[in-house]
Amino acid sequence: MTAELPAQLPGLADQAGVFRRLRTRLLRNGLRVALDHGRTRLITMLASSVFVFAFTFAVGLYLFTQLAKANVPFKGAIVEALFDLMFFTLGSMLVFSTGLILFASLFNSPESRYLLCSPARADRIFATKFQAAVAFSSWGFVILGIPVFLAFGIVSGVPWYFYALLPAFLLGYVLLPGSVSATLCLLLARYMPQNRKQVLIVVALVMVVVASIWMYRVGIGLKKTFNTGGRELDELIGRFDMLRSGFAPSHWMTRGVMAAARDDLRGALIPLAQVWSNGLVLYVLAAWVARRVYRTAYDRIAGGGRGKKVYGTHFLDRVMETLVFYLDKRTRVLVVKDFRTFRRDPTQWAVLILFGILMLFGASNFRQYYSAGLAVMDRYAVSLMNLSGTAIMLCAGLSRFVFPLISLEGRKFWVLGLTPLSRDQILWGKFVFAATGALVIGELLILVSDALLGLPWQGMLLHAIIMAVVAVGLAGLNVGLGAYLPTFKETDPSKIVVGFGGTVNMVAGLGFLVMIIGLMAVPLHTAQLARGAANVDKAVSLWVYAGVPIGVLLGVVAVVLSLRFGARSLRGMEF
Amino acid sequence: MIDIRGVSKSYGPKIAVQGLDLHVPAGELFAFLGPNGAGKTTTIKMLCGLLFPTQGSVRVGGFDLFADGDQARTLISYVPDQPFLYEKLTGREFLQFTADLYAMPSGKASDKIDEVIELFHLDDFVDDLTERYSHGMRQRTVFAAALVHEPKLLIADEPTVGLDPKSIRELKTLLRRLAASGTTVFLSTHTLDIAQELADRIGIIDHGRLLGCGTMRDLQKLASSDGNLEDLFLKITEEAATEPEPAVSGLVG
């Protein structure tokens, strides 16, 4: 029993209204600042989004036109299977991305700490954070999803309401993985035993590996179907059994979208209602879980896992230091510091390892196919896909982990600013760290996968040169633009990446890749493919290598210009 | 107003607070002192309901922070050492948000907002976005927001950091006035002069244990010294460091 009677309480606030007004004000003020002081930034960001939208639309249009040429029925089982696969893949990705963003914003952000000390209800704080996390993780899904379906609609000829229903379908769908992810995130934070981080990573990796292997098998099935006249169609469809059940949200989406495409409005509205109602129910469930466990979960996260782990020098640190032996001692120290931070965060390198395993696994499987005389895919086509995949993985990885490096120094920048190192050395150190890491990973992946595919040495040499240009060029772009367009106020790297600077960097990186691969790799691969198709034995012309020096020059220009702009910006930075 | 009973808090294997008993009545200005890592901030976070005790209970205004946290928090204002403000709100909008969150009637909220703006001299910048504020401006805005809803308990962690001498003087006067009007003030600080000058009672914590608690006179008696608070603080914490068990029992609470 208490010694005092409870004090008199003020009335209850309409917290939903309070937070709605807060969001409106934040949005209005943010837009006003963007229009008054950052018009160039706003326009660049919009232009980048339009570019991504247009690029996706063009790719979608091309692919659907190819399907039309292959006489694949647009509103039939194969396209349905493709959509099932796409929705399932995007949904799975949204589970992970929303979960990661939500975890950081619920348990590590100063705003959450502030709100948890106020009378704001736990479920209300959760709702605010959930909406922001879903918006952050899903904008890409909407920006990429709409052009794909627009392309589908244009090529296949659909009624007008197909286009009108698209946003409703896509927006409703993001609620489902978002809510599932939020519930899991809260329950894991609340009930997971100590060293939860390792357990979480292992669970996530296992789930991703299982999903990826399944998707890979489906991919093989699809390719076989297109190449053998559809005999394996039943086998392929069989792989989608799990996704085609009435319980799979990805299939509700497919059913609804396909029904709209077939001019069956009723058939489209029922799955739409299914998506929204289930999404909302799951959201309410997540909010209920938040109301019950968020505060105690916060307490657990803040209070747990502080065992006395002794951190020391690892042999990998010495390997890194050896790799950059040509630098002066002080810059080497900086490089090793960045590397140490990287290796102590398993979420960073786990994705790279996973991608590498999948790619090598894929390469060895393709080799088995044409060794067995199936000749499903030409080795040059597959190796070009591997090269592009590795390059895109490096682009995404560097954008996620290297671009925010300067921004993350943030308010601690004075620590580096006051060291006897010049600002140029700091930038140079980060560039060398990024370039070395990207080179080692990129070259290893591409050369091993080329060897597994049995590519001739000329092809492997060309790939090694291309990968070097890509790795060093992307490292320069990411470090340079990271210094030129920093976001010192943001502490969450995932938000820095999707901010203005991050978007510009991503678009610049992808543009760079398209140019390098287009100039340096595509001519040889096209010539070899044509040679294979014509079944001639003549060697390819040396002209296919004409783009190589231009690509190398482009790489040098990208590095020099980015680092020069970045260094100038860093030198002028006050702290 | 504050009733802490047998509270312990562990971070994994590390015990941050152990066996803490503390009662602070309404209208008292209580200063909470201790070296770095002594358990002050953990205690404050438990008082705000941000963390929960591993053992024992924390009550504010009669409400248990674990069972009835939402009610308890309507009585509390917390000014942390690193103040949080929404960067894309103006100071006035932040004050309005705080008033709305505490369900203040609009007329009263408007009057109180004007009052705290004047009290903390925010007029010059209150309609600017807070992203342009200096540390001192942020600290004053956060203080204004903490008082806008007339809390029964004000918890302040190092409130004078970043303030200029004039603002510190005004803050000290304000804290005393708040206590005189019935608001309980729980002050955590390393500035011993301020604690000695303002506090009705002082608690000294180290290694998670409350080593002493009482008026200046009580602490002098405990330390067997007539020195100022700095002398007493050093003597009590140094003596406790050489003893395996809590130094005092009679004066705690």
- Report which listed range, A47-51, A474-478, B84-88, is most confident: A474-478
Q: Does A489 contact chain B (CB < 8 Å)? A: yes
Model confidence at B249: pLDDT above 70? no
Residue that has been written with the tokens 């589970």 in this structure: A95
Residue that has been written with the tokens 């040679």 in this structure: A531
- Which ranges constitute the DSSP H helices of A4-76? 15-37, 39-69
Residue A48 and residue A503: Cα distance in Å, rounded?
7
Termini Cα distance of chain A: 53
Distance between B186 CA and the closest CA of chain A, angstroms: 15
Give the angle A509-A515-A516 at the CA atoms, nearest 5°.
85
Model confidence at B137: pLDDT above 50? yes
More confident call, A556 vs A241: A556
- Report which listed range, A133-147, A285-299, A509-523, B213-227, is most confident: A285-299
Contacts of B62 in chain A (CB under 8 A): 2, 4-7
Residue contact B12–A30, C-beta within 8 A: no
- Which ranges constitute the DSSP H helices of B149-215? 165-180, 192-198
More confident call, A236 vs B211: B211
Q: What is the pLDDT of residue A288?
A: 95
More confident call, A493 vs A30: A30
Q: What is the pLDDT of residue B185?
A: 92
Amino acid at B65: L
Say which range, A420-424, A505-509, B106-110, has the weakest mean pLDDT: A420-424
Contacts of B84 in chain A (CB under 8 A): 110-111, 113-114
Distance between B48 CA and the closest CA of chain A, angstroms: 5
Q: Does A120 contact chain B (CB < 8 Å)? A: yes
Model confidence at A467: pLDDT above 90? yes
Q: Does A1 contact chain B (CB < 8 Å)? A: no
Residue A464 and residue A461: Cα distance in Å, rounded?
5
The two three-digit tokens of residue A94, written as one number: 């949204």
Strand partners, B187: B31, B156
Backbone angles phi, psi at B124, to 5 degrees: -65, -25
Residue A430 and residue A438: Cα distance in Å, rounded?
12
On whether the CB atoms of residues A148 and A60 are closer than 8 A, the answer is yes
More confident call, B55 vs A5: B55
Q: What is the pLDDT of residue A91?
A: 81
Q: How many beta-carbon pairs below 8 A join chains A and B?
A: 125
Report helix, strand and coil shares of chain B as percent, to nearest 5.
40, 25, 35
pLDDT band at B248 (very low <50, low <70, confident <90, very high): very low
Model confidence at A196: pLDDT above 60? no
pLDDT band at A1 (very low <50, low <70, confident <90, very high): very low
Q: What is the pLDDT of residue B193?
A: 86
pLDDT band at B145 (very low <50, low <70, confident <90, very high): very high
Give percent of chain A above pLDDT 70: 74
Which of B12, B97, B103 is nearest residue A304 as measured by Cβ atoms? Answer: B12
Mean pLDDT calculated for residue range B216-231: 83
On whether the CB atoms of residues B229 and B202 are closer than 8 A, the answer is yes
Instruction: Tell whether pTM > 0.80.
Output: no
Residue A78 and residue A62: Cα distance in Å, rounded?
17
On whether the CB atoms of residues A363 and A382 are closer than 8 A, the answer is yes
Residue contact A2–B59, C-beta within 8 A: yes
B51: closest chain A residue by CA: A299
Model confidence at A179: pLDDT above 60? yes
Q: Does A550 contact chain B (CB < 8 Å)? A: no
Q: What is the pLDDT of residue A499?
A: 72
Residue that has been written with the tokens 């009973």 in this structure: B5
- pLDDT, one tens digit per residue, over B50-63 is 899 989 999 998 88
Model confidence at A5: pLDDT above 80? no
Amino acid at B223: A
Model confidence at A471: pLDDT above 70? yes
B129: closest chain A residue by CA: A29
Reported residue count of chain A is: 575
Task: Name which of B57, B84, B94 to mutate to probe chain A: the one with the most chain A Cβ atoms within 10 A of its Cβ.
Answer: B84
Residue contact A26–B88, C-beta within 8 A: yes
Say which range, A15-29, A94-108, A336-350, has the weakest mean pLDDT: A336-350
More confident call, A533 vs A466: A466
3-state secondary structure of A146: helix
Q: What is the pLDDT of residue A505?
A: 86
Q: What is the pLDDT of residue A3?
A: 43
Q: Which ipTM was obtained for this model?
A: 0.89
Tell me the C-alpha to C-alpha distance, in Å, between residue A213 and each of A139, A206, A210, A306, B217. 27, 11, 5, 36, 74
pLDDT band at B253 (very low <50, low <70, confident <90, very high): very low
A110: closest chain B residue by CA: B84
Residue A266 and residue A272: Cα distance in Å, rounded?
10
Residue A125: CB partners within 8 Å, gap ≥ 6? A106, A112, A115, A116, A290, A294
Q: What is the pLDDT of residue A312?
A: 63
Distance between B239 CA and the closest CA of chain A, angstroms: 27
Which of B61, B84, B149 is nearest residue A114 as measured by Cβ atoms? Answer: B84
Residue contact A303–B93, C-beta within 8 A: no
Mean pLDDT calculated for residue range A71-85: 74
The two three-digit tokens of residue A351, written as one number: 């994705």
Q: What is the mean pLDDT of chain A?
A: 79
B73: closest chain A residue by CA: A119
Contacts of B89 in chain A (CB under 8 A): 22, 25-26, 29
Task: Name which of B14, B41, B52, B68 to mutate to probe chain A: the one with the most chain A Cβ atoms within 10 A of its Cβ.
Answer: B52
Say which range, A392-406, A473-487, B143-157, B239-253, has the weakest mean pLDDT: B239-253
Q: What is the pLDDT of residue A87?
A: 83
Which of A11, A25, A121 is nearest residue B89 as measured by Cβ atoms? Answer: A25
Residue A560 and residue A541: Cα distance in Å, rounded?
32
Residue A305 and residue A123: Cα distance in Å, rounded?
25
Residue contact B131–A489, C-beta within 8 A: yes
Show which of residues 312-351 on chain A sit within 8 Å of chain B, judged by CB atoms: none
Model confidence at A263: pLDDT above 50? yes
